[in-house]
Structure 1
Amino acid sequence: MTASAPRSSPLALTVLALLHHKPLHPYGIQRLVKDWGKEQVVNVRQRASLYRTIERLNADGLIAVRETERDQQYPERTVYEVTDAGRETARAWLEEMLTTPKEEFPEFPAALSNLLLLTSDGMADVLERRADALTRKLDGLEAAMAAEAGHGLPRITRLETEYLRAVTAAELAWVRTVVEDLRAGRLSWSKEQLDALAAVQADRP
Protein backbone atom coordinates (compact mmCIF):
# COMPACT_ATOMS: atom_id res chain seq x y z
CA MET A 1 0.00 0.00 0.00
CA THR A 2 1.41 3.40 -0.97
CA ALA A 3 1.49 6.23 1.54
CA SER A 4 -0.89 9.08 0.90
CA ALA A 5 0.57 12.33 -0.38
CA PRO A 6 1.21 15.06 2.22
CA ARG A 7 -1.85 17.28 2.63
CA SER A 8 -1.39 20.90 1.62
CA SER A 9 -2.68 23.95 3.46
CA PRO A 10 -1.83 27.67 3.40
CA LEU A 11 -0.19 27.40 6.83
CA ALA A 12 1.83 24.31 5.88
CA LEU A 13 3.08 26.02 2.71
CA THR A 14 4.03 29.13 4.68
CA VAL A 15 5.98 27.08 7.25
CA LEU A 16 7.92 25.35 4.47
CA ALA A 17 8.54 28.66 2.70
CA LEU A 18 9.91 30.31 5.85
CA LEU A 19 12.16 27.34 6.55
CA HIS A 20 13.61 27.78 3.06
CA HIS A 21 15.32 30.91 4.41
CA LYS A 22 16.79 29.42 7.57
CA PRO A 23 16.08 26.85 10.32
CA LEU A 24 13.58 28.15 12.88
CA HIS A 25 11.80 27.12 16.05
CA PRO A 26 7.98 27.44 16.17
CA TYR A 27 8.03 30.78 17.97
CA GLY A 28 10.42 32.14 15.33
CA ILE A 29 8.05 30.97 12.59
CA GLN A 30 5.10 32.64 14.29
CA ARG A 31 7.05 35.88 14.73
CA LEU A 32 8.16 35.96 11.08
CA VAL A 33 4.58 35.36 9.91
CA LYS A 34 3.59 38.51 11.79
CA ASP A 35 6.69 40.56 10.92
CA TRP A 36 6.32 39.81 7.21
CA GLY A 37 2.59 40.58 7.20
CA LYS A 38 1.58 37.03 6.34
CA GLU A 39 -1.02 36.94 9.12
CA GLN A 40 -3.32 38.67 6.60
CA VAL A 41 -3.48 35.44 4.57
CA VAL A 42 -2.47 32.73 7.06
CA ASN A 43 -4.22 32.11 10.37
CA VAL A 44 -1.66 31.70 13.16
CA ARG A 45 -3.74 33.24 15.93
CA GLN A 46 -4.04 29.85 17.59
CA ARG A 47 -0.56 28.61 18.36
CA ALA A 48 -1.87 25.05 18.68
CA SER A 49 -2.70 24.97 14.95
CA LEU A 50 0.88 25.97 14.13
CA TYR A 51 2.29 23.23 16.36
CA ARG A 52 -0.05 20.64 14.82
CA THR A 53 1.06 21.69 11.34
CA ILE A 54 4.71 21.44 12.31
CA GLU A 55 4.15 17.99 13.81
CA ARG A 56 2.41 16.84 10.63
CA LEU A 57 5.16 18.21 8.37
CA ASN A 58 7.77 16.49 10.53
CA ALA A 59 5.86 13.18 10.45
CA ASP A 60 5.58 13.46 6.64
CA GLY A 61 9.34 13.99 6.32
CA LEU A 62 8.98 17.49 4.88
CA ILE A 63 10.85 19.07 7.79
CA ALA A 64 13.31 17.63 10.30
CA VAL A 65 14.67 18.54 13.71
CA ARG A 66 17.90 20.50 13.29
CA GLU A 67 18.73 20.98 16.97
CA THR A 68 17.28 21.73 20.36
CA GLU A 69 18.11 25.13 21.80
CA ARG A 70 18.64 25.38 25.52
CA ASP A 71 18.75 28.78 27.20
CA GLN A 72 18.22 29.66 30.83
CA GLN A 73 15.94 32.56 29.84
CA TYR A 74 13.59 30.47 27.66
CA PRO A 75 12.04 27.01 27.65
CA GLU A 76 13.72 24.37 25.52
CA ARG A 77 13.08 25.08 21.83
CA THR A 78 13.17 22.65 18.93
CA VAL A 79 14.65 24.10 15.74
CA TYR A 80 13.39 22.68 12.43
CA GLU A 81 14.82 22.74 8.92
CA VAL A 82 13.21 21.95 5.58
CA THR A 83 14.18 18.67 3.90
CA ASP A 84 14.75 18.05 0.19
CA ALA A 85 11.32 16.41 0.06
CA GLY A 86 9.90 19.51 1.75
CA ARG A 87 11.43 21.80 -0.86
CA GLU A 88 9.99 19.76 -3.71
CA THR A 89 6.59 19.51 -2.04
CA ALA A 90 6.47 23.26 -1.32
CA ARG A 91 7.10 24.05 -4.99
CA ALA A 92 4.43 21.56 -6.09
CA TRP A 93 1.89 22.98 -3.61
CA LEU A 94 2.71 26.54 -4.67
CA GLU A 95 2.23 25.80 -8.37
CA GLU A 96 -1.07 24.02 -7.72
CA MET A 97 -2.42 26.83 -5.51
CA LEU A 98 -1.43 29.47 -8.06
CA THR A 99 -2.76 27.72 -11.14
CA THR A 100 -5.91 25.94 -9.92
CA PRO A 101 -8.79 27.96 -8.42
CA LYS A 102 -10.05 26.00 -5.43
CA GLU A 103 -13.74 25.50 -4.79
CA GLU A 104 -14.18 27.13 -1.40
CA PHE A 105 -17.29 27.81 0.64
CA PRO A 106 -16.84 31.13 2.49
CA GLU A 107 -19.54 32.45 4.81
CA PHE A 108 -20.55 35.58 2.92
CA PRO A 109 -21.90 33.94 -0.28
CA ALA A 110 -23.72 31.39 1.89
CA ALA A 111 -25.34 34.25 3.82
CA LEU A 112 -26.28 36.01 0.57
CA SER A 113 -28.06 32.86 -0.59
CA ASN A 114 -30.32 33.12 2.47
CA LEU A 115 -30.99 36.87 2.46
CA LEU A 116 -34.71 36.29 1.99
CA LEU A 117 -34.95 35.64 5.72
CA LEU A 118 -34.75 39.44 6.02
CA THR A 119 -36.91 42.25 4.71
CA SER A 120 -35.49 44.50 1.99
CA ASP A 121 -34.82 47.21 4.58
CA GLY A 122 -33.14 44.64 6.83
CA MET A 123 -30.97 43.50 3.94
CA ALA A 124 -29.90 47.06 3.23
CA ASP A 125 -29.12 47.68 6.89
CA VAL A 126 -26.87 44.66 7.34
CA LEU A 127 -25.12 45.21 4.02
CA GLU A 128 -24.45 48.84 4.96
CA ARG A 129 -22.79 47.55 8.13
CA ARG A 130 -20.67 45.22 6.01
CA ALA A 131 -19.74 48.15 3.74
CA ASP A 132 -18.57 50.07 6.80
CA ALA A 133 -16.45 47.10 7.90
CA LEU A 134 -15.02 46.70 4.40
CA THR A 135 -14.15 50.41 4.32
CA ARG A 136 -12.18 50.03 7.54
CA LYS A 137 -10.46 46.93 6.21
CA LEU A 138 -9.58 48.72 2.98
CA ASP A 139 -8.12 51.66 4.91
CA GLY A 140 -6.00 49.21 6.91
CA LEU A 141 -4.73 47.44 3.80
CA GLU A 142 -3.83 50.73 2.12
CA ALA A 143 -1.96 51.81 5.26
CA ALA A 144 -0.14 48.47 5.31
CA MET A 145 0.84 48.86 1.65
CA ALA A 146 2.14 52.36 2.28
CA ALA A 147 4.14 51.17 5.29
CA GLU A 148 5.60 48.24 3.36
CA ALA A 149 6.57 50.52 0.49
CA GLY A 150 8.11 52.96 2.97
CA HIS A 151 10.35 50.21 4.32
CA GLY A 152 11.90 49.83 0.88
CA LEU A 153 10.64 46.27 0.42
CA PRO A 154 10.40 45.04 -3.19
CA ARG A 155 6.92 44.76 -4.68
CA ILE A 156 7.11 40.94 -4.74
CA THR A 157 6.81 40.97 -0.94
CA ARG A 158 3.59 43.00 -1.12
CA LEU A 159 1.62 41.04 -3.70
CA GLU A 160 -0.66 39.35 -1.17
CA THR A 161 -1.55 42.77 0.28
CA GLU A 162 -2.19 44.13 -3.23
CA TYR A 163 -4.48 41.18 -3.93
CA LEU A 164 -6.42 41.59 -0.69
CA ARG A 165 -6.82 45.30 -1.38
CA ALA A 166 -8.16 44.65 -4.91
CA VAL A 167 -10.60 41.97 -3.70
CA THR A 168 -11.79 44.12 -0.78
CA ALA A 169 -12.28 47.17 -3.02
CA ALA A 170 -14.26 45.11 -5.54
CA GLU A 171 -16.49 43.63 -2.83
CA LEU A 172 -17.06 47.05 -1.28
CA ALA A 173 -18.11 48.52 -4.63
CA TRP A 174 -20.52 45.62 -5.24
CA VAL A 175 -22.05 45.75 -1.76
CA ARG A 176 -22.64 49.51 -2.10
CA THR A 177 -24.38 48.92 -5.44
CA VAL A 178 -26.69 46.30 -3.94
CA VAL A 179 -27.54 48.62 -1.03
CA GLU A 180 -28.33 51.45 -3.44
CA ASP A 181 -30.57 49.15 -5.51
CA LEU A 182 -32.39 47.95 -2.39
CA ARG A 183 -32.95 51.50 -1.11
CA ALA A 184 -34.14 52.73 -4.52
CA GLY A 185 -36.48 49.77 -5.10
CA ARG A 186 -34.56 48.55 -8.15
CA LEU A 187 -33.91 45.23 -6.40
CA SER A 188 -37.39 43.98 -5.60
CA TRP A 189 -39.46 40.80 -5.55
CA SER A 190 -42.81 39.53 -4.36
CA LYS A 191 -43.93 36.49 -2.43
CA GLU A 192 -46.06 35.49 -5.40
CA GLN A 193 -43.02 35.47 -7.69
CA LEU A 194 -41.06 33.31 -5.28
CA ASP A 195 -43.97 30.93 -4.70
CA ALA A 196 -44.45 30.52 -8.45
CA LEU A 197 -40.75 29.81 -8.93
CA ALA A 198 -40.78 27.25 -6.13
CA ALA A 199 -43.82 25.54 -7.67
CA VAL A 200 -42.12 25.27 -11.09
CA GLN A 201 -39.00 23.80 -9.54
CA ALA A 202 -41.03 21.33 -7.48
CA ASP A 203 -42.76 20.03 -10.65
CA ARG A 204 -39.47 19.29 -12.42
CA PRO A 205 -38.63 15.58 -12.68
Structure 2
Amino acid sequence: MTTSAPRSSPLALTVLALLHYKPLHPYGIQRLVKEWGKEQVVNVKQRASLYRTIERLNGDGLIAVRETGRDQQYPERTVYEVTAAGRETARAWLEEMLAAPKQEFPEFPAALSNLLLLMPEDIADVLKRRADALAKKLDGLEAAMASEEKQGLPRVTRLETEYLRAVTAAELEWVRGVVEDLRTGRLAWSKEQLDAFAAEPTRQ
Protein backbone atom coordinates (compact mmCIF):
# COMPACT_ATOMS: atom_id res chain seq x y z
CA MET A 1 0.00 0.00 0.00
CA THR A 2 1.48 3.34 -1.01
CA THR A 3 1.82 6.02 1.63
CA SER A 4 2.13 8.96 -0.75
CA ALA A 5 -0.92 10.86 -1.97
CA PRO A 6 -2.23 9.63 -5.34
CA ARG A 7 -0.91 11.80 -8.18
CA SER A 8 -3.54 13.57 -10.25
CA SER A 9 -3.58 13.99 -14.02
CA PRO A 10 -6.27 14.88 -16.58
CA LEU A 11 -6.32 11.28 -17.83
CA ALA A 12 -6.52 9.80 -14.30
CA LEU A 13 -9.40 12.11 -13.42
CA THR A 14 -11.23 11.19 -16.62
CA VAL A 15 -10.81 7.45 -15.96
CA LEU A 16 -12.25 7.86 -12.47
CA ALA A 17 -15.09 10.02 -13.78
CA LEU A 18 -16.08 7.49 -16.44
CA LEU A 19 -15.98 4.65 -13.93
CA HIS A 20 -18.46 6.64 -11.82
CA TYR A 21 -21.05 5.80 -14.48
CA LYS A 22 -20.38 2.10 -14.81
CA PRO A 23 -17.58 -0.50 -14.63
CA LEU A 24 -15.51 -0.56 -17.82
CA HIS A 25 -12.55 -2.30 -19.38
CA PRO A 26 -9.72 -0.14 -20.82
CA TYR A 27 -11.02 -0.34 -24.39
CA GLY A 28 -14.45 0.77 -23.18
CA ILE A 29 -12.87 3.74 -21.42
CA GLN A 30 -10.97 4.71 -24.57
CA ARG A 31 -14.12 4.38 -26.69
CA LEU A 32 -16.20 6.56 -24.35
CA VAL A 33 -13.50 9.24 -24.26
CA LYS A 34 -13.78 9.48 -28.05
CA GLU A 35 -17.56 9.15 -28.22
CA TRP A 36 -18.07 11.90 -25.64
CA GLY A 37 -15.58 14.24 -27.33
CA LYS A 38 -13.17 14.23 -24.42
CA GLU A 39 -10.17 13.53 -26.66
CA GLN A 40 -10.06 17.32 -27.10
CA VAL A 41 -8.84 17.64 -23.50
CA VAL A 42 -7.46 14.17 -22.70
CA ASN A 43 -4.86 12.31 -24.76
CA VAL A 44 -5.84 8.66 -25.20
CA LYS A 45 -4.15 8.14 -28.57
CA GLN A 46 -1.36 6.25 -26.84
CA ARG A 47 -3.09 3.20 -25.39
CA ALA A 48 0.02 2.42 -23.33
CA SER A 49 -0.44 5.64 -21.33
CA LEU A 50 -4.04 4.67 -20.59
CA TYR A 51 -2.97 1.24 -19.35
CA ARG A 52 -0.23 2.80 -17.20
CA THR A 53 -2.75 5.19 -15.69
CA ILE A 54 -5.18 2.35 -14.96
CA GLU A 55 -2.39 0.31 -13.40
CA ARG A 56 -1.40 3.24 -11.19
CA LEU A 57 -4.99 3.93 -10.11
CA ASN A 58 -5.42 0.27 -9.29
CA GLY A 59 -2.19 0.24 -7.29
CA ASP A 60 -3.33 3.32 -5.37
CA GLY A 61 -6.61 1.63 -4.48
CA LEU A 62 -8.71 4.16 -6.42
CA ILE A 63 -10.10 1.52 -8.76
CA ALA A 64 -10.43 -2.25 -8.40
CA VAL A 65 -10.87 -5.25 -10.67
CA ARG A 66 -14.53 -6.17 -10.88
CA GLU A 67 -14.21 -9.11 -13.23
CA THR A 68 -12.15 -10.60 -16.01
CA GLY A 69 -14.04 -11.95 -18.98
CA ARG A 70 -13.38 -13.54 -22.34
CA ASP A 71 -15.52 -14.26 -25.36
CA GLN A 72 -14.89 -15.56 -28.87
CA GLN A 73 -14.55 -12.11 -30.44
CA TYR A 74 -12.16 -10.45 -27.99
CA PRO A 75 -9.15 -11.43 -25.91
CA GLU A 76 -9.37 -11.48 -22.12
CA ARG A 77 -10.57 -8.14 -20.78
CA THR A 78 -10.34 -6.87 -17.24
CA VAL A 79 -13.28 -4.75 -16.10
CA TYR A 80 -12.57 -2.10 -13.46
CA GLU A 81 -14.82 -0.23 -11.05
CA VAL A 82 -14.19 2.88 -8.97
CA THR A 83 -13.70 2.42 -5.23
CA ALA A 84 -14.96 4.64 -2.42
CA ALA A 85 -11.46 6.10 -2.15
CA GLY A 86 -11.52 6.72 -5.89
CA ARG A 87 -14.79 8.63 -5.67
CA GLU A 88 -13.44 10.79 -2.87
CA THR A 89 -10.13 11.39 -4.64
CA ALA A 90 -11.82 12.26 -7.95
CA ARG A 91 -13.90 14.91 -6.22
CA ALA A 92 -10.82 16.38 -4.50
CA TRP A 93 -8.85 16.43 -7.78
CA LEU A 94 -11.75 18.03 -9.64
CA GLU A 95 -12.20 20.80 -7.08
CA GLU A 96 -8.47 21.55 -7.07
CA MET A 97 -8.20 21.61 -10.87
CA LEU A 98 -11.20 23.93 -11.14
CA ALA A 99 -10.22 26.32 -8.35
CA ALA A 100 -6.43 26.61 -8.59
CA PRO A 101 -4.74 27.74 -11.83
CA LYS A 102 -1.71 25.50 -12.35
CA GLN A 103 1.70 26.73 -13.42
CA GLU A 104 2.17 24.94 -16.71
CA PHE A 105 4.86 25.24 -19.34
CA PRO A 106 3.31 24.85 -22.81
CA GLU A 107 5.45 25.07 -25.93
CA PHE A 108 4.02 28.22 -27.49
CA PRO A 109 4.99 30.73 -24.74
CA ALA A 110 8.43 29.11 -24.59
CA ALA A 111 8.80 29.63 -28.35
CA LEU A 112 7.65 33.25 -28.03
CA SER A 113 10.36 33.85 -25.43
CA ASN A 114 12.99 32.86 -28.03
CA LEU A 115 11.65 34.70 -31.07
CA LEU A 116 14.90 36.58 -31.57
CA LEU A 117 16.42 33.49 -33.15
CA LEU A 118 14.33 34.44 -36.23
CA MET A 119 14.17 37.51 -38.43
CA PRO A 120 10.98 39.64 -38.23
CA GLU A 121 9.73 38.48 -41.64
CA ASP A 122 10.28 34.84 -40.64
CA ILE A 123 8.34 35.38 -37.42
CA ALA A 124 5.45 36.87 -39.37
CA ASP A 125 5.41 33.90 -41.73
CA VAL A 126 5.40 31.20 -39.04
CA LEU A 127 2.82 33.05 -36.94
CA LYS A 128 0.64 33.38 -40.04
CA ARG A 129 0.82 29.59 -40.37
CA ARG A 130 -0.21 29.28 -36.73
CA ALA A 131 -3.13 31.65 -37.31
CA ASP A 132 -4.30 29.52 -40.25
CA ALA A 133 -4.13 26.39 -38.06
CA LEU A 134 -6.00 28.14 -35.26
CA ALA A 135 -8.71 29.29 -37.66
CA LYS A 136 -9.18 25.70 -38.83
CA LYS A 137 -9.31 24.49 -35.23
CA LEU A 138 -11.84 27.18 -34.39
CA ASP A 139 -14.07 26.09 -37.27
CA GLY A 140 -13.95 22.53 -35.94
CA LEU A 141 -14.82 23.60 -32.41
CA GLU A 142 -17.74 25.72 -33.59
CA ALA A 143 -19.02 22.79 -35.65
CA ALA A 144 -18.71 20.54 -32.60
CA MET A 145 -20.59 23.05 -30.45
CA ALA A 146 -23.38 23.29 -33.02
CA SER A 147 -23.61 19.50 -33.22
CA GLU A 148 -23.68 19.11 -29.43
CA GLU A 149 -26.35 21.78 -29.10
CA LYS A 150 -28.41 20.15 -31.85
CA GLN A 151 -28.26 16.86 -29.95
CA GLY A 152 -29.85 18.62 -26.99
CA LEU A 153 -26.97 17.93 -24.63
CA PRO A 154 -27.11 20.00 -21.43
CA ARG A 155 -24.68 22.91 -21.45
CA VAL A 156 -22.78 21.53 -18.46
CA THR A 157 -21.67 18.59 -20.64
CA ARG A 158 -20.39 20.98 -23.32
CA LEU A 159 -18.38 23.42 -21.22
CA GLU A 160 -14.96 22.03 -22.21
CA THR A 161 -15.75 22.65 -25.89
CA GLU A 162 -17.09 26.10 -25.05
CA TYR A 163 -13.90 26.89 -23.13
CA LEU A 164 -11.62 25.62 -25.90
CA ARG A 165 -13.56 27.68 -28.42
CA ALA A 166 -13.13 30.85 -26.33
CA VAL A 167 -9.41 30.26 -25.74
CA THR A 168 -8.76 29.43 -29.39
CA ALA A 169 -10.65 32.51 -30.59
CA ALA A 170 -8.70 34.75 -28.19
CA GLU A 171 -5.36 33.28 -29.27
CA LEU A 172 -6.27 33.62 -32.95
CA GLU A 173 -7.15 37.29 -32.51
CA TRP A 174 -3.88 37.94 -30.67
CA VAL A 175 -1.69 36.08 -33.18
CA ARG A 176 -3.32 37.88 -36.10
CA GLY A 177 -2.67 41.20 -34.34
CA VAL A 178 1.01 40.39 -33.86
CA VAL A 179 1.35 39.36 -37.52
CA GLU A 180 -0.25 42.63 -38.58
CA ASP A 181 2.07 44.62 -36.31
CA LEU A 182 5.10 42.83 -37.76
CA ARG A 183 3.99 43.39 -41.35
CA THR A 184 3.26 47.10 -40.81
CA GLY A 185 6.37 47.81 -38.75
CA ARG A 186 4.52 48.64 -35.53
CA LEU A 187 6.45 45.76 -33.95
CA ALA A 188 10.11 46.30 -34.79
CA TRP A 189 13.51 46.25 -33.11
CA SER A 190 17.16 46.66 -33.92
CA LYS A 191 20.32 44.83 -32.92
CA GLU A 192 21.54 48.02 -31.28
CA GLN A 193 18.45 48.20 -29.07
CA LEU A 194 18.85 44.60 -28.00
CA ASP A 195 22.59 44.98 -27.36
CA ALA A 196 21.93 48.06 -25.22
CA PHE A 197 19.26 46.26 -23.25
CA ALA A 198 21.54 43.25 -22.69
CA ALA A 199 24.34 45.52 -21.47
CA GLU A 200 22.21 47.16 -18.77
CA PRO A 201 22.74 45.98 -15.18
CA THR A 202 20.22 43.37 -14.03
CA ARG A 203 17.20 45.10 -12.51
CA GLN A 204 16.20 43.94 -9.04
Q: Same fold (TM over 0.5)?
A: yes
What is the percentage of aligned positions where both structures have the same residue? Answer: 84
Give the distance between the partners of 1:5 and 1:147, measured in 2 at CA.
40
1:80 and 2:80 aligned: yes
* Aligned equivalent of 2:178: 178
1:72 to partner: Cα distance: 1.1
1:201 to partner: Cα distance: 3.7
| Matched position secondary structure for 1:64 | strand
1:150 to partner: Cα distance: 1.3
| Matched position secondary structure for 1:102 | coil
Give the distance between the partners of 1:69 and 1:141, measured in 2 at CA.
38
* Aligned equivalent of 2:195: 195
* Aligned equivalent of 1:26: 26
Q: CA RMSD in A?
A: 1.1
Give the distance between the partners of 1:17 and 1:184, measured in 2 at CA.
49
* Aligned equivalent of 1:36: 36
Give the distance between the partners of 1:152 and 1:162, measured in 2 at CA.
15
Give the distance between the partners of 1:26 and 1:182, measured in 2 at CA.
49
TM-score, with length taken from structure 1 = 0.97
AA aligned to 1:163 is Y
* Aligned equivalent of 2:153: 153
| Matched position secondary structure for 1:124 | helix
* Aligned equivalent of 1:52: 52
Give the distance between the partners of 1:201 and 1:192, measured in 2 at CA.
16
Give the distance between the partners of 2:142 and 2:71, measured in 1 at CA.
40
Alignment of 1:131-170 (within 5 A): 131-170=131-170
| Matched position secondary structure for 2:186 | coil
Give the distance between the partners of 1:27 and 1:152, measured in 2 at CA.
27
Post-superposition, which runs of at least 4 consecutive aligned residues in structure 1 deviate over 4 A? Answer: none
Give the distance between the partners of 1:152 and 1:122, measured in 2 at CA.
45
| Matched position secondary structure for 2:67 | strand
AA aligned to 1:185 is G
* Aligned equivalent of 1:115: 115
Measured against aligned partners, the alpha-carbon deviations of 1:111-145 in whole angstroms (never above 9, x if no partner) come to 00111111111110000000000000000000111
| Matched position secondary structure for 2:76 | strand
**Which has the higher mean CA deviation after the structures are superposed, 77-86 or 64-73?**
64-73
In structure 2, the gaps of 5 or more residues are none
| Matched position secondary structure for 1:74 | coil
1:62 to partner: Cα distance: 0.1
1:70 to partner: Cα distance: 1.4
AA aligned to 1:14 is T
Count how many residue pairs are aligned between Structure 1 and Structure 2: 203
TM-score, with length taken from structure 2 = 0.97
Give the distance between the partners of 2:105 and 2:117, measured in 1 at CA.
20
| Matched position secondary structure for 2:24 | coil
Give the distance between the partners of 2:12 and 2:138, measured in 1 at CA.
27
Measured against aligned partners, the alpha-carbon deviations of 1:7-56 in whole angstroms (never above 9, x if no partner) come to 00000000000000000000000000000000000000000000000000
